[in-house]
Amino acid sequence: MNSSFQFTCQACCTDSQARAGVFSTPHGKVETPRFMPVGTLATVKTVTPQQLQATGAQMILANTYHLHLQPGEQIVAGAGGLHKFMAWNGPILTDSGGFQVFSLSELRKITENGVTFRSPRDGRIIELTPEKSIHIQNALGADIIMAFDECPPYPATREEVELATERTYRWLKRCISAHQREDQALFGIVQGGVFLDLRQEAAVSLRELDLPGYAIGGVSVGEPSELIEKIVRATAPMLPAEKPRYLMGVGTYREMVQAIAAGVDLFDCVIPTRWARHGTVVVGGERWNLKNARFREDFTPLDESCDCYTCQNFTRAYLCHLVRTREILGYTLLSIHNITELVRFTQRIREAIFRDSFTEDFAQWLAPTPSSL
């Protein structure tokens, strides 16, 4: 692996497992803990790369399965890789397509060799194996690539989860053998459903493979937040302290604070742009629906304390107007604010860890029943 991949822990919380660090990649550094916006199809929806950079985002995501369907990894590779194709100069992480094993359950068949999908786009049959996933990701050229895994649903029996977890480990070893590029870091994914002993056993097995980073997968797939918290709290400390830890598919304030307290460094979620497309924004930890009539004649900024482009230039009344008339600019402006808000939230946590005031400053999110997001 390229020596430019390195994780350095800079500060630790004395009252929890929270830590602040820096993860170095060939396309720049990521200061942790950090929220990462999702750009499934090589675009964070409605936001330009320049606008995205202004939000404070440092690393973004793209999806292997969807980019394989359209436009195809050969086209992306022909453009010089994902970074050039989408004009994003910072670090990029690609999901393996393993989540589609879960989300497209009615369109796929799992075998030991891999997964056969019926494309929801045109109905053609697609076979995705660990080797194929890595081949696609090698062609896409992201800095961080994920191992192909089987994400069991919730609820599932212990036997079903055990089989999926064991298969995920076997697939990981095939991913390692197939991986061809030293300028890409391959992360393994810990599965195990809601069974903490399976999670811990999987974490120990993956740790022995000495990978450049580790992810906790298979959460936020339908289980209650209390179970997510227990899973993360039991799993994260089992992963190497000298490597970055990534919690997949999580992005609410409470989930991130709880996970950071357990020692997690990186997060991703589609909610900033998804909420924006439904007229929803995050302000001070609360979710607001800007379609609400109370905003129609409110000529104050969305959030006076926010320095994002949206809050510095537009009123709540204007944003309400855009949302009500379904103007595309509204989706862009709300996405800019929501992404800025989540990135800034993790930046504030990072600063609190350096002050060793994390558990005090974010106590409301560490409490068993928080009052908001």
Residue 299: other Cβ atoms inside 10 A: 9
Output the known binding site for Zn(2+): 306, 308, 311, 337
370 pLDDT exceeds 80? no
349 pLDDT exceeds 90? yes
State the average pLDDT over residues 338-366: 98
pLDDT-derived band at 98 (thresholds 50, 70, 90) equals: confident
Looking at residue 217, its amino acid is: G
Token pair recorded at residue 40: 């499934």
Q: pLDDT for 30-87, tens place per residue?
A: 999 999 999 999 999 999 999 999 999 999 999 999 999 999 999 999 999 999 999 9
Return d(Cα 369, Cα 143) in angstroms, integer: 37
Average pLDDT, the chain: 95
95 pLDDT exceeds 60? yes
Q: Which of 333, 328, 326 is nearest to 306 (CA)?
A: 333
Output the known binding site for substrate: 95-99, 149, 191, 218
Q: Which of 191, 187, 186 is nearest to 169 (CA)?
A: 191
Those residues with Cβ within 8 angstroms of residue 84's Cβ, 6 or more apart along the chain or in another chain:
none
1 pLDDT exceeds 60? no
Question: Concatenated DSSP letters for 219-277?
Answer: -SSS--HHHHHHHHHHHGGGS-TTS-EEETT--SHHHHHHHHHHT--EEEESHHHHHHH
Q: Which of 342, 280, 307 is nearest to 37 (CA)?
A: 342
DSSP label at residue 217? -
The predicted structure's pLDDT at residue 4: 85
Label residues 247-282 b or e (16+ Cβ within 10 Å = b): bbbbbbbbbbbbbbbbbbbbbbbbbbbebbbebbbb
Return d(Cα 147, Cα 41) in angstroms, integer: 19
- Three-state DSSP at 212 gives coil
**pTM of the model as a whole:** 0.96
Q: Say what percent of the chain tops pLDDT 70.
A: 98
State the average pLDDT over residues 150-177: 96
pLDDT-derived band at 149 (thresholds 50, 70, 90) equals: very high
The residue written with tokens 């194996």 in the block is 129
The predicted structure's pLDDT at residue 210: 97
Crossing angle of helices 158-178 and 196-207, rounded to 10°? 10
pLDDT-derived band at 192 (thresholds 50, 70, 90) equals: very high
State the average pLDDT over residues 295-306: 97
Phi, psi of 185 (to 5 degrees): -95, 125
Q: Which residues pair with 48 in a beta bridge?
A: none
Annotated catalytic residues are 95, 268
DSSP label at residue 43? S
Phi, psi of 192 (to 5 degrees): 140, 5
Q: Which of 177-181, 282-286, 295-299, 350-354 has the lowest mean pLDDT?
A: 282-286
Q: Which of 283, 288, 319, 281 is nearest to 303 (CA)?
A: 283
Q: Say what percent of the chain tops pLDDT 90.
A: 88
Q: pLDDT for 164-190, tens place per residue?
A: 999 999 999 999 999 999 999 999 999
The predicted structure's pLDDT at residue 359: 98
With beta carbons less than 8 A apart as the criterion, state whether 191 and 202 touch.
Answer: yes
Q: pLDDT for 267-291, tens place per residue?
A: 999 999 999 999 999 998 899 999 9
pLDDT-derived band at 106 (thresholds 50, 70, 90) equals: confident
The predicted structure's pLDDT at residue 372: 64
The predicted structure's pLDDT at residue 121: 77
The predicted structure's pLDDT at residue 371: 52
With beta carbons less than 8 A apart as the criterion, state whether 254 and 373 touch.
Answer: yes
The predicted structure's pLDDT at residue 331: 98
